[in-house]
Amino acid sequence: MEGTTEKDCSPLWSLYQQIVSDMKNSAPMWEEFISKATKLHSALKSALVAIAAFLDAFQKIADAATNARGATKEIGTALTRVCLRHRAIETRMKTFISALMDTLITPLSERADDWRRGGCATGALSREHARECKRARAELRRRVQEAQRHARKARRAQPDAKRRADVCMQDVQERKQQLEEMEEKAVKAALIEERSRFCHFVSLLNPVVESEVAMLAEVGHLQEGSEQLVRHTAEPRTLPAASLQVQNLNHYR
């Protein structure tokens, strides 16, 4: 009977232990993600500096084309438009980089440290469950032994032994049910804790993804400026009519 009790509880016990073990062993996974995200953040910040310098140089060329004698003004205007679109992307990129650190890396690092130390529900859950289960199993073993003793007496036809044996067996069944409910409760709590970690990760990741989508949406606006540049530069050897008018006006003056 005792062996049966252990066997009945073992699937839930094994499942609980596996869930808790998976959470404890997941520390390297979170640490690796935080490390890679931090490196990405540093690389993007460096890229942002290079982008700003690139756009400053780009704007100088656009200004030069705009301020030329008249044959490149429309090219300069289109270049300025493209440069402004890049500035908008740069602004969105700054928001993305800030979100990466402020809403993902920093808060996740704090929670990962807590998880690694056995904080939150995992450590307390494991210790409390172990104590409760130990007490319940010990009490169940004692009741099983008592029921076996009364069962042996009942076989020897001792007075009231069968009634006591039946009462003990009923008590054993109730305690087995209580132990199973205890295990189910612990497994449910462990599953909720495991799920809550990934849900928390998603809640931190979402603002980063949203800022990334906003940044990429700005890229689509570049197409109009690119098409204008193609139209204005399709015939390098053909001067715009307006430029010839400016030249004639200067000639007559």
pLDDT digits (tens, 9 = 90+) for 43-101: 999 999 999 999 999 999 999 999 987 788 888 989 999 999 999 999 999 999 999 99
pLDDT score for 221 = 82
Domain that holds residue 58: 2-252
Q: What is the residue-averaged pLDDT of the chain?
A: 81
For CA atoms 55, 61, 66, 67, the dihedral sign is: positive
CA quadruple 119, 125, 130, 135: dihedral, nearest 10: 130
pTM given for the model? 0.73
| Confidence label for 175 from pLDDT (cuts 50, 70 and 90) | confident
Provide the number of structural domains found in the chain. Answer: 1
What is residue 2's predicted lDDT score, i.e. its pLDDT? 37
CATH code, 116? 1.20.1270.60
CA distances from 184 to 120, 122, 172 (A): 20, 16, 18
pLDDT of residue 149: 67
Go through 172-203 and write b for each residue having 16 or more CB atoms within 10 A of its CB, e for each that does not.
beebbeebbebbeebbebbeebbeebeeebee
Say which residue the tokens 């076989």 belong to: 155
User: Hey, how many other C-beta atoms are within 10 angstroms of the C-beta on 106?
Assistant: 13
**DSSP conformation letters of 45-104:** HHHHHHHHHHHHHHHHHHHHHHTSSSSSHHHHHHHHHHHHHHHHHHHHHHHHHHHIIIII
pLDDT at 165: 64
Give yes or no for residue 215 having a pLDDT over 80. yes
CA-angle at 234, arms to 239 and 251, nearest 5°: 5
